A and B are shown apart, each in its own frame.
Chain A
Amino acid sequence: MKSMKNFIMISVFCAALFGATSCHDLLDEDPENNNYTGQTDYTNTSNMIRPLIGAYAEFQDRGWEDFPVIAVRGDDVNAGGLGDQQDFAEEDKFNYNKDYWMFNSVWQNLYRDILYATQAIEEVTKYREFADNQAVADQYIAEAKVIRAYLLFNLSRVWGTVLIPETSDPTVLPGAEPSTKEEVMQYISDQMDEAAPALPAIHPNQRTDIRGGVTRFTALAVQALANLELKDYQGVADATSQIISSNAFTLEPDYYNLFKVPGKLSNENILELQYSDFGTASGNLEAYLFAFFGPESWEPKVSGAGGGWGFYEPSLKYIKFMLDRGETTRLETSVIFTNRGIDEIKKDPNYAVLPAWVSNTTPSGDVFNNYNRAMFASGKHYLPSDQLTPGRTDYGTNKNFICIRYAEILLMHAEALLQGGSGGISADAAVNAVRTRAGLSTLSGVTLDQVMDEKYAELAMEWGTRYYDMVRLGRYDELSYDGRTFTENKIFLPYPQAQVDLLPSLGGNP
């Protein structure tokens, strides 16, 4: 009995002692299901493209509020969505609320993706020394730089003076020195000088690794945009000339479908956000939230197709401008009418009789009913219900979102020449190429006003181009329409309060 007791006691003790000591190594176990950046094997260069894809993924995963905040202030478009998002409507009227959630959200979204693109540059750089072909690494770095530059461009156009992240570490930004809009645009222009040589001089849709990705011409296009903001017209002309003379781009003959599924990766597109339902009725879906632009009430040709929230309404001023010009193709592509909207136009005796084609049925056969929030819908953000993949119902799903297209390059080129720049094709040639596609007659000896009108007609509802042009040219009277009054102090949005709290170096709002 005694020995039995001892045996049990000793074995229990030993087990306890052994168990406890042998377990100490387990404390050094790493967490499960984690990939550490620090553990990445940079010699495995087949993964080198992954950080770049990551940057594209973030770029294309755009918050729905980004585009409206960037693009609503021009005389081409109104906020729409009446009764909803009042501070968005106020933004359209140049009354800005620094506490408005959308402003902070857009700031956050743009910075997040700028930081991710910066990170892609850093990550690819680490692979570079192990790459068989370092030119590929340099190309990837350059692509990420272009994505980053485009985001930074939009950020600074909206807020003016901002912080340029030098690294992907966000914790250093609260102490960073802010850069003025001129400094940011110069920085972008310089970055594009660095990036362009490393990129293939082909159309994005000619790329085989990342079809539709960034090429040298994307870099040049972004540079042209930045130079335009700098009023460096020679710089604009230099960049646009290179794009035009490459002959890599052509205007899409079918203007209406350029903004629909057939226009995906069109020869006209220089930078676009790509989305897909992968041709299936359900399952994987990468999509932009086009419902923002959709009608609250409609009778889609394909029944069951989802509508939208009724925001982003083409302005009466734009519609009348287009009617005055006798435009059809671009007007019916850019604007979708409701009967209420048509009645509103007709209230003006000058427009009592409208062209016969103006109706609340789109060229694709979808009928837009009257709804309370808006009188018109943005056609460039509309996908006909019969272009939806059967089984999918979300408004606009499977449609791409164009950021920069060749028509804008041509018109920037034309303006640059008229503003004192030189080189490349003539301003007339550039403008007429755009007019011809729109079914309009050619012009000769185009003036700056004619170019700006052409740009208004061509690029309405796209990325606020009209607003930023009018601001740059000081044509505040154009922006002061429908009871609005634009003044110089309204150019930039105030910093979101949350960002002022977080980033004291911004210096707060005046």
Chain B
Amino acid sequence: MKRLLLMAFVPILLSVTAWGQDEKIVSGKVTSADDGMGLPGVNVVVQGTTKGSTTDTEGNYSIQLAPAENTLVFTFVGYKTVTVDVSTRTTADVVLEADVTSLEEVVVVGYGTQREKDLTSAISTIKTEDIVKTPTGQAMQALQGRVPGLQIVSSGQPGVSPTVRVRGVGSLPRKDADGNPLNTEAPLYVVDGMFFDNIDFLNPADIATISILKDASAAAIYGVRAANGVVLIETKTGKINQKAQITYDGYYGVQVAQNVVKMANSEQFTNMALESGSPSDAAAIANAMQRYGRSRVNPNVPDVNTDWYDEILRNAPIQNHSLGVTGGGESTTYSIGASYFAQDGILDTENDFERFTLRSRIDYQANNWLKVGGNVNISNATKYGQDVVAQNGEAWKIAYFAPPVMPVIDEANDDAWPTKYASAQDIGYRDGKNPFPVMDFNRNKLRQKKLLANFYVKVDLIPDKLSFQTTYNLGSTFQDERNVDLPYFLSSNAQTANSAIVKKSETFFNQIWDNVLTFDQAFGNHFFTVMAGTSFRDEAWDMLEARGEDLFTPGQEKSWYIDQANEIKADDVGDDAYRNYGISYFGRISYNYSDRYLLYATMRADGTSKYQEKWGYFPSVGVGWVISEENFMSDIGTINFLKLRGSWGRLGNDKIEATSGANVLTLPTTAIDETLVTGSLSELTFGYLRWELTEEWNVGLTARVFNDRLSLDADYFVRDSKDAAIPVRILTGDTGIRSQGIIRNSGVEVALNWNDNLSNDLTYTIGVNFATLKNEARDLYGLSYIDGGQAEFLQRTRVGDPLLAFYGYETVGVYQNTAQIEADPVATALNAADPEGDAIVPGDFIFNDVDGDGAITGDDRVILGSYLPSFTYGVNLGASFKNFDLSVNMMGQSGNKILNRKRGEIIWTPDGNMDADLAKNRWHGEGTSNKYPSSAGLRKGWNQRMSNYFVEDGDFFRIQNVTLAYNLQGERLGEKIPDARISFTAERPLTVFSYNGFNPEVPDGVDTQTYPIPAIYTVGLSVKF
């Protein structure tokens, strides 16, 4: 109606101005890009004059212009300034975009907010626009390469969260009994006030902001939970007096396997087998030729050349759709939404992830002193796959080692059922080596229902000064795992005779009750905010599992229940639980003297039932000096803002598993006279832990220069984890966790952003960020080293070196001929001692005799490198031209090493395939290779010892994301059409690295075959009604 009136009115105005000689009136409406609503109070100034006007409550303006006045400048606090040429028109509707670089912006800091310019600590915030660019079900994946000091290690398996590390690793990563990582290094996620270990249940499009509290001073308010950094997540909310806005966001795309590792083909494999010196391997090739024929190209190679990765990979779809309604009335704001995400795995079998979420957030100002609100987020996810919990599917491993001289299907394998898959046993190997049975006959499913709910009551005790808020948060997960093994037969050593089913039900029920009192006061130029609060936590988990064998009708999915099994294994019934309580008292003072001097202090006391030592105390302080507010700086016009920051804080790490502090009994079973009996044992070692404390210094600089076009944030930090929990090994190979050292992470983080307009239509941004990291064991409390990793692939934590550094021998080449061996005292001595005199032959590695004692001994081992990158960087480019915008993000890392554990598998079983690089570049005669040993050498203990042959560079560079979008706005046929944005995204289209594996992103640096990380190409549509 109003629009109609306006439209009727404008021509009248125009006619009036036309009549008034050359003077004209320009009018229009100013709206916010955020929500499309009119913006009241926007300054509209004629460029080069002081003549101006402001918009009315609806955002409308009109201004009379002299003939030479052709340009209008629209400015509004918190929004980017827009300049419009009106020389040829009389209406100019303007959309103002929020100024994301604005320092006025408010940042969440935990139990409260702060203006960004008041911060004394290192906090990085990422907004929804940047999060939704990445097509992923896991919001944290979108942060890869965007925040210096934040390492994201992606996972390709649908539904699996990436590994997230804030400023290195201070605590030794550990795995549970099944080999799954315990995520002891993971940061704390706080979603609208509730604590989570991961945020796989959130629809990324529902997130308004993600803030990374990087330094100890920022995180210390979360005390015992904060040692690995804190990630604060705020979900979207409505605004007061905002018209209801209906939004659809969605994309559909395809995932394509990238950098598939090239495996040896049949010919290379045959050469390797024949050169191995192992008659049984040569016989297997002969058997393959007999069974499958001889190649016409090379009659000495079997007529099969299976590329197993090609067989098990596929292109897989990914899609997300979310629908939301946000808005607000005079006293209520709301945001309600639903989303559906589905991702198939690139492994060509049932391994998809599906998630449905619902959310509702409502805040209600009941009266002038009482506000209440509620927030509910429900997610229902189902994950299928051969390995639904861990990241490493068996199929990937089997495909890696599967011999290329064998087909997928072998019609001659008459005994096989239900599918005639080929078995390597039929050509002489120990077992089947065909990845298809585990893909077909392991039918596993994980259902996860997660609920986040919180409700608060906020009471203003003294208006605008003192308020009290009590919040109840609930985070719960209901999880059902169902793993079914169906019977099959390939050959006698590749079969599952009996079907089996394992069911596991888990419930996590975590509650937090926070009570917070906040006091704001200003005396002249002194501004205080004081906060004090208590928090009570109750974390409960329980689990029940059972295993049944021999299902009555295994073919029927509806009968996959324990009840339908003939035998229920008493031994495999599991029942477990934990319940941890925590009580905390905390407070914060922030003080600001005329925006120039800043002081910040927090204190938290945490009590926990988890450790032997019940209470921990976590203080922090921060100071800031806004130099640009000083009088002497006022003349330096290019510097808009300059702040020096410094902070110190102490944090605790309660991700460390609860320890018993005493020997715990276990109840083993055994057979005595055909009866199952149960005994008791007390574990040989136990953990005893003090609090793992992290203390961190951070100094930083924040600057905005050249009219806010260039922003700079730089930080230097030193973070010490004291009494770090470290598994200490005993001679049985078991470990007990002890508070056994000080681990230091230190580094520099820099983020630079430049944005500018080249013309009214063309704007661009350039962002560069990088971080260095030095990880080091400072002290191991009397020990000079602690060994970890596998005994055969040792990772040693040594004082002065990085945590769990790869430790072994250094190869310096390959012996090329007998003369070279005879000239080498090490080899000569060994051959003399060997009765056959062939301990060392050409094609064997030459190791560096570090101590020069003429023999390769344990003393010749050296640190071979760390799995943590020492340098990470990101480059983010953006440009928008008229209705198009383009963004390109790149990232990379260097300085880390990867243990190519797949090549190491030969130590245990040598009858598998190998990567083509190894097969091609093997030593097979003088001068053929100085890098890899001969095929026979690969099987020798001499060459199999842990060395830099197994440890490769993990450096990589990646084009992370390219998004091109077209924005559609305005009217068509006189009707306002909905704002729409069509986007094309290429996620990870290019990764460059030298490592001989699928991808250089290996969370713990030990590559036993992770799920490959695909490139994703999507088309997206976003519509606002």
Q: Do A and B bind each other?
A: yes
Residues of A in contact with B (beta carbons under 8 Å apart): 5, 8-9, 12-13, 15-16, 19-20, 23-24, 26-29, 31-38, 40, 47, 49-58, 60-61, 82-87, 90, 95, 97-101, 104-105, 107-109, 111-112, 115-116, 119, 123, 168, 170-171, 173-174, 210-213, 265, 274-276, 278-284, 286, 291, 296-298, 300, 303-310, 371-373, 391-393, 483-485, 496-503, 508-509
Complex contact A37–B682 (CB within 8 A): yes
Complex Cα–Cα for A24 and B493 (A)? 58
Chain A residues near B785: list those with CB within 8 A.
501
Complex contact A265–B673 (CB within 8 A): yes
Complex contact B566–A296 (CB within 8 A): no
Q: Is B575 at the interface (CB under 8 A from chain A)?
A: yes
Chain A residues near B836: list those with CB within 8 A.
483
Q: Is B909 at the interface (CB under 8 A from chain A)?
A: yes
Complex Cα–Cα for A112 and B668 (A)? 14
Known: A26-B538, A51-B682. 11 other contacts (CB 8 A): A20-B515, A49-B679, A54-B667, A54-B679, A83-B276, A86-B941, A170-B684, A274-B672, A283-B549, A286-B670, A484-B835
Q: Select B792's contact among A101, A111, A485, beta carbons within 8 Å.
A: A101
Complex Cα–Cα for A310 and B370 (A)? 78
Q: Is B794 at the interface (CB under 8 A from chain A)?
A: yes
Name the distance in Å between B27's Cβ and chain A's nearest Cβ. 47
Q: Select B425's contact among A29, A286, A297, A393, beta carbons within 8 Å.
A: A297
Complex contact B430–A87 (CB within 8 A): no
Residue among B369, B430, B614 facing the most chain A CB atoms (10 A cut-off): B430
Q: Is B220 at the interface (CB under 8 A from chain A)?
A: no
Complex Cα–Cα for A36 and B665 (A)? 6
Q: Select B576's contact among A27, A33, A112, A282, beta carbons within 8 Å.
A: A33
Interface bits B505-533 vs A (CB < 8 Å: 1, else 0): 00000000101000000000000000000
Complex contact A84–B909 (CB within 8 A): yes
Complex contact B498–A282 (CB within 8 A): yes
Chain A residues near B569: list those with CB within 8 A.
283-284
Which of B280-288, B689-697, B980-988, B990-998 contacts the other chain? B280-288
Complex contact A47–B492 (CB within 8 A): no
Q: Is B731 at the interface (CB under 8 A from chain A)?
A: yes
Q: Select B493's contact among A13, A307, A508, beta carbons within 8 Å.
A: A307
Q: Select A12's contact among B280, B457, B941, beta carbons within 8 Å.
A: B457
The interface residues of chain B, by DSSP majority, are classed as mixed
Chain A residues near B910: list those with CB within 8 A.
83-84, 86
What are 14 inter-chain pairs, A to B, with CB distance below 8 A? A29-B581, A29-B609, A34-B664, A54-B681, A57-B681, A104-B792, A108-B733, A112-B684, A115-B684, A123-B680, A281-B566, A304-B489, A305-B492, A309-B493
Q: Which B residues from 908 to 964 make CB contacts under 8 A with A?
A: 908-911, 939-942, 944-946
Q: Is B869 at the interface (CB under 8 A from chain A)?
A: no
Name the distance in Å between B491's Cβ and chain A's nearest Cβ. 8
Given the interface pairs A16-B515, A305-B492, the reply to whether A496 lies near B672 with Cβ below 8 Å is no
Q: Select A212's contact among B428, B576, B673, beta carbons within 8 Å.
A: B673
Name the distance in Å between B531's Cβ and chain A's nearest Cβ. 14
Complex contact A16–B672 (CB within 8 A): no
Complex Cα–Cα for A38 and B660 (A)? 11
Q: Is B114 at the interface (CB under 8 A from chain A)?
A: no
Complex Cα–Cα for A282 and B565 (A)? 10
Complex contact B670–A57 (CB within 8 A): yes
Q: Is B791 at the interface (CB under 8 A from chain A)?
A: yes
Given the interface pairs A23-B536, A55-B679, A104-B791, the reply to whether A12 lies near B470 with Cβ below 8 Å is yes
Given the interface pairs A33-B575, A54-B680, the reply to whether A26 lies near B278 with Cβ below 8 Å is no
The interface size of chain B toward A, counting residues with CB under 8 Å, comes to: 108
Name the distance in Å between A9's Cβ and chain B's nearest Cβ. 6
Complex contact A9–B468 (CB within 8 A): yes
Q: Is B102 at the interface (CB under 8 A from chain A)?
A: no
Given the interface pairs A27-B609, A99-B945, the reply to whether A84 lies near B911 with Cβ below 8 Å is yes
Q: Is B812 at the interface (CB under 8 A from chain A)?
A: no
Q: Is B459 at the interface (CB under 8 A from chain A)?
A: yes
Top 6 nearest A-B pairs by Cβ distance?
A283-B567, A53-B679, A372-B280, A54-B679, A83-B278, A97-B941
Q: Is B607 at the interface (CB under 8 A from chain A)?
A: yes
Residues of B in contact with A (beta carbons under 8 Å apart): 276, 278-281, 283-284, 369-370, 415, 425, 428-430, 457, 459, 461, 468, 470, 489, 492-493, 495, 497-498, 500, 513, 515, 534, 536, 538, 549-550, 565-571, 575-579, 581-583, 585, 607-610, 614, 658, 660, 662-665, 667-682, 684-685, 729-734, 736, 785, 787, 791-792, 794, 834-836, 839, 857-858, 907-911, 939-942, 944-946
Name the distance in Å between A334's Cβ and chain B's nearest Cβ. 23
Q: Select B534's contact among A16, A115, A279, beta carbons within 8 Å.
A: A16
Q: Select A27's contact among B281, B614, B681, beta carbons within 8 Å.
A: B614
Complex Cα–Cα for A392 and B576 (A)? 30
Complex Cα–Cα for A286 and B569 (A)? 12
Chain B residues near A503: list those with CB within 8 A.
731
Chain B residues near A53: list those with CB within 8 A.
670, 672, 677-680
Chain B residues near A497: list those with CB within 8 A.
791, 858
Complex Cα–Cα for A496 and B908 (A)? 16
Complex contact A300–B492 (CB within 8 A): yes
Name the distance in Å between B798's Cβ and chain A's nearest Cβ. 11
Complex Cα–Cα for A56 and B549 (A)? 27
Q: Select B668's contact among A13, A23, A58, beta carbons within 8 Å.
A: A58
Chain B residues near A171: list those with CB within 8 A.
685, 730, 736
Residue among A27, A485, A497, A500 facing the most chain B CB atoms (10 A cut-off): A27
Q: Select B732's contact among A5, A36, A108, A212, beta carbons within 8 Å.
A: A108
Complex contact A36–B278 (CB within 8 A): no
Chain B residues near A47: list those with CB within 8 A.
680
Complex contact A82–B679 (CB within 8 A): no
Complex contact A5–B672 (CB within 8 A): no
Nearest B residue to A94, CB-CB: B835
Given the interface pairs A29-B609, A57-B669, A500-B858, the reply to whether A101 lies near B493 with Cβ below 8 Å is no
Q: Select B579's contact among A16, A32, A38, A86, beta carbons within 8 Å.
A: A32
Name the distance in Å between A437's Cβ and chain B's nearest Cβ. 25
Complex Cα–Cα for A485 and B569 (A)? 50
Nearest B residue to A96, CB-CB: B941
Given the interface pairs A34-B664, A305-B492, A306-B495, the reply to whether A90 lies near B941 with Cβ below 8 Å is yes
Complex Cα–Cα for A90 and B678 (A)? 40
Complex Cα–Cα for A52 and B675 (A)? 16
Chain B residues near A282: list those with CB within 8 A.
498, 500, 549-550, 565-567
Complex contact A119–B684 (CB within 8 A): yes
Complex Cα–Cα for A298 and B425 (A)? 11
Name the distance in Å between B437's Cβ and chain A's nearest Cβ. 15
Complex Cα–Cα for A12 and B575 (A)? 38
Residue among B489, B581, B791 facing the most chain A CB atoms (10 A cut-off): B791
Complex contact B492–A211 (CB within 8 A): no
Chain B residues near A15: list those with CB within 8 A.
470
Complex contact B660–A34 (CB within 8 A): yes
Chain B residues near A101: list those with CB within 8 A.
791-792, 907-908
Name the distance in Å between A493's Cβ and chain B's nearest Cβ. 13
Q: Select B513's contact among A19, A28, A280, A308, beta carbons within 8 Å.
A: A19
Nearest A residue to B460, CB-CB: A5
Given the interface pairs A101-B792, A483-B836, the reply to whether A112 lies near B679 with Cβ below 8 Å is no
Name the distance in Å between A279's Cβ and chain B's nearest Cβ. 7
Name the distance in Å between B348's Cβ and chain A's nearest Cβ. 28
Chain B residues near A307: list those with CB within 8 A.
425, 492-493
Nearest B residue to A291, CB-CB: B493
Name the distance in Å between A151's Cβ and chain B's nearest Cβ. 12
Name the distance in Å between A168's Cβ and chain B's nearest Cβ. 7
Complex Cα–Cα for A280 and B548 (A)? 13
Given the interface pairs A26-B609, A34-B660, A282-B549, the reply to whether A56 lies near B672 with Cβ below 8 Å is yes
Name the distance in Å between B841's Cβ and chain A's nearest Cβ. 13
Given the interface pairs A8-B370, A36-B660, A498-B794, the reply to whether A107 lies near B579 with Cβ below 8 Å is no
Residue among B513, B673, B794 facing the most chain A CB atoms (10 A cut-off): B673
Chain B residues near A35: list those with CB within 8 A.
664-665, 680
